Amino acid sequence: MQKRRLGVAGPEVSLVGLGTNNFGGRIDLAASRLVVDMALDLGVTLIDTADIYGNKGGSEEYLGQILGARRKDVVLATKFGLPMDNAGRLRGASRRYVMQAAEASLRRLKTDWIDLYQLHRPDALTPIEETLRALDDLKQAGKIRFIGCSNLSAAQLEQALSISERAHLVSFICCQDEYSLLERDVEKGLLGALRKHHLSLLPYFPLASGLLTGKYKHGAPLPPGSRLANSPPRGGGVLNERNWRIVGKLSAFAAARGHTILALAMSWLASQPLVPSVIAGATKPEQVEQNIAAVNWALSTDELAEIDRITL
């Protein structure tokens, strides 16, 4: 498994990472264990979760039970900030909540430290400096190693990085944002900021919730139990005529070169200079194998240009 560095001074991570938002929701502990074991056996070193995954805590709890002695072999990433209760008290990025959320994640994960602790989304009610000072204290205490963010605008990222530099606080080393052959909006501003400050991008929904795997067919019923079948709002946003048209062209492009659209989607992301790892979810061990095998297509300059013509 190829490895790349996360940010400038962050840890090395596997080119394919494992996303665990299915754990505790779509799949149970036994099935999750099979997925994690396969990923680790094949060289995956980056495992990404969040406190909210798995019906508010289930994914972290599963990982805490599964990893055991192999915890030391992985870069374990989690997130905080989204609502963890129905009353709306356990959410946000205030100092009080950041400290509370970190302790809760450490407890569920059965670990003494979090390798990458990520702000899941901006908190309009809390100054970012307050959040960064809390994260800096957690780093000084040895409870987190590095920090990242998710769903920040380029302007919000610039502000946070400026504050970290001015106040000598821990600084974001990466952003986790939606990025795929069907969703390239980060290229309009955020990628420029990442490039300027030497940060990495961790794409989420790299396969557009499965639309780039080839398992969905235009005009056919959604496969039972699939992500888009289980999440009508998400499906309604992804399953549109524009995307079906692009998927058709990309499928033909890949097939003409002896590859699948899955291999194209994963290898295209792997070709992006700012992407150190493509985090892909899985509900079965064989999906982990497929995702890892899918990054082996070294796309040429001409092929990348043709992909741009299809998707932009």
pLDDT at position 298 = 97
> Which amino acid type is present at position 253?
F
Please give the Cα distance from 109 to 59 (Å, whole number): 9
Per the annotation, the verdict on 62 as an active-site residue is no
- pLDDT, residue 285, reads 98
Torsion of CA 8, 10, 15, 19, to 10 degrees: -130
pLDDT score, position 87: 86
Marked catalytic residue, from 53, 62, 179, 216: 53
Domain ranges of the chain: 3-210+269-297
Average pLDDT per block of 10 residues along the chain, 312 residues long: 95 98 96 98 98 97 97 97 92 97 98 98 97 98 98 97 98 98 96 97 95 87 74 74 96 97 98 97 96 96 98 94
Between CA 77 and CA 5 the distance in angstroms is: 14
Residue range 3-210+269-297 forms a domain whose CATH class is alpha beta
